[in-house]
Structure 1
């Protein structure tokens, strides 16, 4: 596997994968790597991808897939979250699947419709649609809207798990509301960046770890 795929894998692990999870990485028609966690469904390296698995669904749908899978597939039920993986340099195409206990499907946080933010000593409910982007800066979580900047008590990764699909992670420090994206372009160092429709034309760099994911989700 090339570095781009390894970076994507590391990003998922660092951001949110719990200790009970097992990790399966597929390439082509078989699994090429498996890291067992507390919930181990005992996949072997080189094992063919079975019908009905999360990996197969990711291949077919070419997008993130998450679902409960019964014991008919691996003999052990699991809740899986799968992601397409691509490395344009090597031509590698595969999938990463996070394998969790079945009960995880009932523990997932509900999607947020608003976030409470603090400005000075006042706490204000902020509708999700009003948020332009969210930043992690010096151990603070900052929420930017057209009305100003607010501070949230929750870390970025906690908010990310509860935000709707209209938000996308572009950097370890930034989550952006897709509705407020004006354009994508290259900076003077050829890094991909996003310009926001926030009245100031704020530009945020998309880190290399997230470039492929952003391109895949937004289709460019």
Structure 2
């Protein structure tokens, strides 16, 4: 998808104060300034702590307030991974004034409603060990079993409390259920959880740095 097509696609739903940046994994390729202009230049390297950097690290939608230490001007950013048929190609960031953080903050989920058979059950968040995306469905697991949910992993990631950690494009885990982490014979980082018959989960290379930073090891 060309930059022109991307901007045409989103121009009708971004407010006039928004600036828009498009980046590949190393640098900004294009920038359209709005009223809230953080003065990005095409060709400028992606700085540490920016929304664009976090989109490339996590390969998912990122929404966060960014302080002035990154660009010299604080902003509220909403970043989107851009993918084509041949894979992940870039990060699109909508850049808004910091006050948008107050107006758009959504409360964290306290429960997720899951389905077993034909029965729906609201399950408290602290009882959920991990969440999985598999075969275009989303599942979550507790000590009592497996549930399906209509929510996508991407939506859940934005609304889960910070006790949950994304470790893979297919997994989000509850930190309180982590029993141990170790390296396997191929040097993959493996996570074992505290629930019966739970498969060991592999932390993908995309998320290893984030996992180590959050868990401080």
Q: Give the 3 Å change call, closer, same or farther, for CA 65–134 of structure 1 in structure 2.
A: closer
The whole-number CA distance in structure 2 between the counterparts of 1:211 and 1:217 is 10
Distance 1:138 1:24, change over 3 A: closer
Provide TM-score, normalisation by structure 2. Answer: 0.64
Number of residue equivalences:
171
Query: Secondary structure of 2:196's match?
Result: coil
Q: Which of 152, 155, 158 is residue 155 of structure 1 equivalent to?
A: 152
Q: Deviations over 1:125-166 (max 9, x none)?
A: 000000000000000000100111000101101000000010
Indicate the residue corresponding to 1:100 in structure 2.
95
Q: Alignment RMSD, CA only?
A: 3.8
Distance in 2 separating the partners of 1:100 and 1:158: 20
Aligned match of 2:58 = none
Does 2:168 align with 1:192? Answer: no
Any stretches of 5+ residues in structure 1 without a counterpart?
1-18, 56-63, 83-95
Unmatched 5+ stretches in structure 2: 1-12, 15-19, 51-61, 80-90
2:63–2:76 Cα contact (<8 Å) kept: no
Q: 2: CA distance between counterparts of 1:166 and 1:97?
A: 27
2: CA distance, partners of 1:164 / 1:186? 27
Separation in 1, partners of 2:135, 2:190: 22
